Amino acid sequence: MIFCRSKYPLREYQKYWIEKIFTSWLQGNKSVLAQLPTGAGKTVCFAHISDEFLRQDGTVLVIAHRTELIEQAVAKLEAITGWSAGVIKYGVTPHPERRIQVASVQTLTRKELLPDLQTKLLIFDEAHHATSYSYRKIIEFYPEACILGVTATPIRIDGQSLKDIFNDLVVGVTPAKLIQQGYLSGFRLFATEQTINTTGVSAKKDFISTELALAINSQISPSEIYRIWNKYAQNRKTLVFAASVGHSKTLAESFKKQGISAEHLDGDTAAPQRFAILKEFEKGTIQVLCNYQLLTEGYDCSSIEAVLCVRPTKSLVLWHQMIGRGLRPNRDRGNTILIDLTDNWQQHGLPNEPLKWELTCQPVPQSLGNRGLIKCDHCTHVFVPLSNELVSQAASVDELGKLVFHYQAKCPSCSQTIEFEKPESLAYLARVPLKKEVHPEIKEIDLSVDKERIHSVIKLIDQERLNGKPNQIYKAIFMRFIETIQDFTLGDWREIVVLSQAPEVIPTKKAWELFQEAYRRYKNRLAALAYIEARKQQAAQSSTAKEILGFSNQREKLANLEVTARNQGTKTLKQELEKGSTNAVVVPQVGNPEVGHQYRTQWSRTLNLVYGNSPKAAEFLSKSAGLFHVESGRFTITITVEVLSEGLKLFRSEIKQPVLNECLSIGFGKPVKVMFRLPATLMNSRH
């Protein structure tokens, strides 16, 4: 039972999360990784957990990697437990006598510590940053302690498994439920399909900031970024994520020139100046705050009303940390405005994404590969060398005559010097894209969900028995709802991806592909209908012309018959007409009249399409063929066409089978398999 102090009472989902953590410990899992979405109160929760250990006369050590995280942890721990906290950090006076200690991981790993059997709880804040050696080294100092790692995103971009540190993963409430319950803010997304092109921008763990800023500045200017912000987030307190330090400063200056109170922050901003700017931003004196690589983790400001992202990233973790800054609930602002000038939202999902977290080795994104990553031979830590460490110390020539460059780097985990080498690369390196300024068309992405439409999809899945078959579900939806497919929103497709039990880690990414495919099919359908209508008009005009010509020929024939009758005197006009009628070609009945009547609209549509490819083939089908049998399957239709043998050879030479199949498929609205048969009377006469 968790004791709750009135200042920070626990919510129901927080109580349940904490109970699952304690249950995991009781089950024998010494080291537990616990996931809770950004803004859900991880710090408050682990402060309450700490309070329980302090009540049992234990001591608590919290490990963090950022100044903001340390300060936030100290404030919450002291407020909830009632105990003063000591800080282990460079430049801060230590208080080793205090039962709560909050330490910088960098400072703690440099100290020569002795095993501390009194520490009963060891907490790692933002535990997805855990590196094997550094954190294992700290853990060894506290063999009797329960270990808790907390994070919103339990994944590492370099693919290393967090299972090296943690025995169990406890997953908390979903962001969607927090938004639904009002614990996180709702949001509106404004984005564009004309996103920033990052082709040629170097990437290790993530895009190289200098190259990324160059690519962005060559494509979209600060004035254009201001124009977009002014249109969709004017008068809103906005947090801007830029591509580099220089880019952030440029954006801040651009806003200032437009009369907007704006400032810039980065990791090199002096601490007093940083705190002063953040205070002014929270008060509202500063409206727009631009930053690079700073205000992602550990920064809480519930008065943020808009987030503007001008930084493409390959990191799912970073993206969700950035947009999470604007989701603290605030009754005064309504929904948070998210403006994304990149394709981050398509690649990494939305704030309420139903992500699937697992405590396993996560694959390195294919777009990253292992470029730039090296492994320490001493502690197995995988890291990216600093730019100054990529200056070659020496070079040699291998057996193939290629240069091999030799480097040295310092492992950030164990401080050992690592020697590594890289062969000469003769492959073509794409250049950073330099383009003229573009004016992307920003629009709000419709994330609404139509319950009736989703119910119809569920009904279709049940009828066709497609449960657990995502690709077949998508095909069936395209076929069944082809006439209204343009009405499906991205929100609808996200629900469908989840319903289909697809293995996609990020449903929005697949939903966006389906949304675009649906739009493409809708446009093709409109084009096909326009084509059919044009052929109908052409056929109607041709038919009218034939009727006029036939009427004229008939009049001429009647006139000639009258002249002949007068001259010969032995035949009347009536007799000549009767004789002419007996000499006319009689077309026998082909096909099944009932089937032909039932599918007359589809057959007529098919004939119009065939006419557009071959008038002679269409004439044969209309005069010497008819529908005999139509059998509709789950995904295809089998059609049997009864034909007269006369003219069949000419028909086959006039229109190719694939073209005929395509016309029938469009006419009947499903892929068609066609078979031909001769009338029964003709077949019997052959025996």
**Mean pLDDT per 10-residue run, the chain (687 residues)?**
61 94 94 90 92 89 84 89 88 87 82 67 85 75 89 71 83 92 92 79 76 83 93 93 92 95 91 91 94 83 92 88 88 86 90 81 39 64 63 56 69 73 54 62 90 92 88 91 90 91 82 90 82 77 62 50 43 38 45 87 87 85 88 82 84 84 86 83 49
* Residue 643: closest CA among 668, 670, 622: 622
Write the secondary structure of 128-152 as one string of H (helix), E (strand) and C (coil): HHCCHHHHHHHHHCCCCCEEEEEEC
Sign of the torsion angle spanned by Cα atoms 291, 295, 299, 302: positive
Going from N- to C-terminal start, the domains of the chain cover 12-173, 180-344, 374-422, 446-521, 588-687
What is the model's pLDDT at position 577? 33
Question: How far is residue 103's CA from residue 85's CA, in Å, rounded to a whole number?
Answer: 10
DSSP string, 369-400: TTTT-EE-TTT--EE---GGGGS-SEEEE-TT
H-helix or E-strand spanning residue 21: helix 12-26
CA distances from 367 to 242, 275, 347 (A): 22, 37, 12
The CATH classification of domain 588-687, taken from the options 3.30.300.180, 3.40.50.300, 3.90.870.20, 3.30.420.40: 3.30.300.180
Superfamily of domain 180-344: P-loop containing nucleotide triphosphate hydrolases (3.40.50.300)
CATH 3.30.365.10 at 12-173, yes or no:
no
What is the model's pLDDT at position 301? 84
H-helix or E-strand spanning residue 558: helix 507-568
Write the secondary structure of 484-511 as one string of H (helix), E (strand) and C (coil): CHHHCCHHHHHHHHHHCCCCCCCHHHHH
Partners of 403 in the β-ladder: 397
What is the model's pLDDT at position 293? 85
Question: How far is residue 347's CA from residue 2's CA, in Å, rounded to a whole number?
Answer: 39
Tokens for 168, please give them. Answer: 């169990």
Same CATH fold assignment for domains 12-173 and 180-344: yes
* Residue 198: closest CA among 426, 373, 513, 430: 430
At 409, the amino acid letter reads A
Give, in degrees to the nearest 5, the angle at Cα 37 between 33 and 39: 125
- For 56, the 3-state DSSP assignment is coil
What is the model's pLDDT at position 588? 46
- For 642, the 3-state DSSP assignment is strand
Residues 6 or more apart in contact with residue 495 via CB below 8 angstroms: 449, 454
Question: How far is residue 382's CA from residue 92's CA, in Å, rounded to a whole number?
Answer: 30
H-helix or E-strand spanning residue 25: helix 12-26
Query: How much is the pTM?
Result: 0.66
Rg from Cα positions in the chain: 37
Distance of CA 219 to the CA centre of its chain: 23
Assess contact for 134 and 110: CB atoms under 8 A: no
